[in-house]
């Protein structure tokens, strides 16, 4: 079948406004749910990170409360630990977009630390959007869109309908007063047509080849939309 590129954060912390480091990484559900869906459909998944570092999972995302119980939490952790894709990523700088049929960015707060300022990731996103290939982005993964700058200096996602982790969700999650910036605010500032669903409920926005999900619960429907486009 096809090869799908997963771009994950390499950051294990988020620097808060007061300079303290908040432990984080990528959110397990947002990586594992699409990973399993794509693999089950016969696709190959390749993980890429800045510098090729092993992506750190947000330990909080492995809690039973976020995975429908301890049994599934243990299963998710086992998938991440046993899948070579997550243990042996390629360097983002070595990615050739022509090798892949689709691109997917999961979230977690990690992308706000590294992918939000990673020019190579921004270049890849700009190319992926222009290529027409299915491009999926979930939750805080949308922070990576901030560096997707076109040759004329404008953001590639300006004017596009999309979503991401909302100010309401960040506030309810407790980090809004502590972070340097809010994702929804920054996406609106770059000119995106930000769409917002109910907090924590699955919400997906499709704009051409771009498929974005608001929160962890949106990762499964985003994967479904990407699979439809690949089919």
CA distance 17 to 29: 27
* pLDDT band of 22, cuts 50, 70, 90: very high
- Residue that has been written with the tokens 């979503």 in this structure: 163
Do residues 9 and 55 lie in contact, with contact meaning Cβ atoms separated by under 8 Å? yes
Q: Could you read off the pLDDT of 95-144 as tens digits, one per residue?
A: 999 999 999 999 999 999 999 999 999 999 999 999 999 999 999 999 99
pLDDT (0 to 100) of residue 1 = 82
Share of the chain above pLDDT 70, in %: 100
In this predicted structure, the answer to whether residue 13 has a pLDDT above a threshold of 90 is yes
Average pLDDT over residues 159-173: 98
Q: What is the pTM of this model?
A: 0.98
Tell me the two tokens of residue 83.
């899948």
User: pLDDT per residue over 25-53, tens digit each?
Assistant: 999 999 999 999 999 999 999 999 999 99
């Amino acid at each position: 079948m096809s090869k799908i590129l997963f771009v994950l954060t390499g950051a294990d912390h988020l620097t808060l406004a007061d300079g303290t480091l908040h432990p984080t990484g990528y959110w397990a559900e947002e990586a594992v749910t699409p990973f399993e869906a794509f693999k089950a459909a016969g696709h190959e998944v390749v993980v890429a990170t800045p510098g090729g570092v092993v992506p750190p999972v947000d330990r909080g995302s492995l809690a039973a409360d976020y995975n429908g119980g301890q049994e599934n939490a243990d299963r998710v952790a086992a998938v991440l630990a046993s899948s070579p894709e997550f243990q042996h990523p390629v360097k983002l700088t070595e990615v050739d977009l022509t090798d892949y049929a689709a691109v997917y960015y999961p979230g977690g707060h990690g992308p706000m630390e590294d992918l939000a300022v990673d020019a190579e990731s921004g270049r890849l996103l700009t190319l992926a959007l222009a290529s027409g290939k299915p491009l999926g982005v979930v939750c805080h993964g949308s922070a990576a869109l901030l560096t997707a700058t076109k040759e004329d200096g404008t953001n590639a996602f300006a004017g596009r309908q999309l979503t991401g982790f909302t100010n309401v969700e960040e506030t309810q999650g407790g980090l809004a007063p502590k972070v340097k910036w809010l994702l929804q605010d920054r996406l609106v500032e770059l000119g995106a047509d930000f769409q917002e669903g109910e907090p924590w409920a699955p919400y997906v926005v499709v704009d051409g080849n771009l498929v974005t999900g608001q929160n962890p619960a949106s990762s499964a429907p985003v994967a479904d939309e990407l699979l439809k486009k690949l089919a």
